[in-house]
């Protein structure tokens, strides 16, 4: 028997809501075999990030060798990459192994306000790693940083998405989750604007939404979906995981990756 395989290259969140842990849960929910190369250890939970330790770039390189020389990923998701040396190593390895279906979530700052990428790494990210991706998924602050434009409303999104496309040469999914009152994302593929309209779900528990969305897209691509279908399936999955109403932790809790699982013990009754 075969399974579609997906690799996440990202940071660890010990509380399981974002980063590697959210990515692997998402891949499993899509029926894919998830693998990971860890770039950084964060200390965080639902109340915020308190520490970030970047791993030695050589260790990241060795993890990528271990995966690619043994189990070839059908798709790769890249999340938190904190320093430029690690960015270069990842770009080298993805090129060496001819990695395919690369989805890049250009994580810069956590929603709680902690910097997850060093400021001097941005230029290397744009020049060296982003051009290798098949899709990037910036949120609005990341979209502003990449395009140099202010994105104050949905009407500013097409212009910013086009600018990022022109700079990177690949499709862009500009996520509108930080807008008031809606959760509309824009996919610009160089030919057409595809709006993915989303109802904004009223919840404080949205920790890890960006990680979940990009891993879900990578999983869809690994399963053979077109880019547009993979993005649509990912958005549907995320809406379900947000709407499930999981309550964990004292702060911005995680989304629920078990919402499609109908068997097993019930936890909401005695
Ligand atoms: N409250 C919400 N209800 C529905 N969808 C949401 C909500 N918050 C975020 N999303 C969706 O989650 C995804 C990630 O959103 P966003 O918050 O913009 O990114 P990030 O997590 O990277 O900051 C997008 O598809 C966005 O539309
Ligand atoms: C280890 C790690 N990677 C990424 C993030 C950011 O997660 P994201 O899903 O973009 O959004 P927030 O949870 O920050 O809203 C993270 N926190 N940790």
- Ligand 1: residue of 183, 185, 246 to mutate (most ligand atoms within 8 A of CB) is 183
Instruction: Give pLDDT, residue 261.
Output: 85
- The rounded distance, in Å, linking the Cα atoms of 179 and 175 is 9
DSSP state letter for 218: H
- 167-225 confidence digits (pLDDT tens): 999 999 999 988 888 899 999 999 999 999 988 999 999 999 999 999 999 999 999 99
Confidence of residue 270 (pLDDT cuts 50, 70, 90): very low
What are the chain's domains?
5-243 (3.40.1190.20)
- The rounded distance, in Å, linking the Cα atoms of 48 and 256 is 19
Q: What are phi and psi of 132, to 5 degrees?
A: -80, -15
Q: Tell which atom from ligand 2 comes closest to the C-alpha of 17.
A: 13
Instruction: Give pLDDT, residue 266.
Output: 65
Instruction: Give pLDDT, residue 269.
Output: 53
Q: What are phi and psi of 264, to 5 degrees?
A: 95, 175
Two tokens at 15? 């509380």
- Ligand 2: residue of 107, 113, 252 to mutate (most ligand atoms within 8 A of CB) is 107
- 1-26 confidence digits (pLDDT tens): 999 999 999 999 999 999 999 999 99
Binding-site residues, ligand 1, Cβ < 6 A:
111, 139, 175-178, 183, 185, 198, 200-201, 203, 206, 209-210, 213, 235, 238-239, 242
What integer best gives the mean pLDDT of the chain? 95
Reduce the secondary structure of 177-213 to three states and give it as a string.
Answer: CCCCCCCCEEEECCCCEEEECCCCCCCCCCECHHHHH
Q: What is the ipTM score, two decimals?
A: 0.97
Q: Is pLDDT at 43 greater than 60 in this prediction?
A: yes
DSSP annotation string for 117-154: S-GGGHHHIIIIIGGG-SEE---HHHHHHHH-----SG
């Amino acid at each position: 028997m075969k399974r579609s395989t997906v690799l996440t290259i990202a940071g660890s969140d010990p509380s399981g809501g974002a980063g590697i842990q959210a990515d692997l849960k998402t891949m499993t929910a899509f029926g894919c075999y998830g693998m990971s190369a860890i770039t950084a250890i964060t200390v965080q939970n639902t109340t915020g990030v308190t520490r970030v330790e970047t791993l030695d770039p050589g260790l990241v390189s060795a993890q990528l060798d271990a995966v690619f020389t043994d189990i070839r990923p059908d798709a790769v998701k890249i999340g938190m990459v904190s320093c430029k040396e690690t960015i270069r190593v990842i770009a080298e390895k993805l090129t060496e192994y001819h990695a395919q279906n690369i989805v890049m979530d250009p994580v810069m700052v956590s929603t709680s306000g902690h910097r997850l990428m060093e400021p001097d790494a941005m230029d290397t990210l744009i020049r060296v790693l982003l051009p290798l991706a098949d899709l990037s998924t910036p949120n609005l602050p990341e979209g502003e940083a990449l395009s140099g434009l202010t994105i104050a409303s949905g009407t500013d999104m097409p212009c910013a998405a086009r600018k990022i496309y022109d700079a990177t040469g690949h499709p862009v999914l500009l996520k509108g989750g930080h807008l008031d009152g809606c959760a509309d994302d824009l996919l610009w593929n160089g030919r057409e604007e595809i709006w993915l309209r989303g109802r904004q779900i009223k919840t404080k528990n949205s920790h890890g939404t960006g990680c979940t969305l990009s891993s879900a897209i990578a999983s869809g691509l690994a399963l053979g979906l077109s880019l547009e279908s993979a993005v649509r399936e990912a958005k549907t999955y995320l809406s379900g995981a947000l709407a499930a109403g999981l309550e964990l932790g004292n702060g911005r809790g995680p989304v629920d990756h078990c919402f499609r699982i109908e068997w097993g013990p019930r936890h909401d009754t005695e």
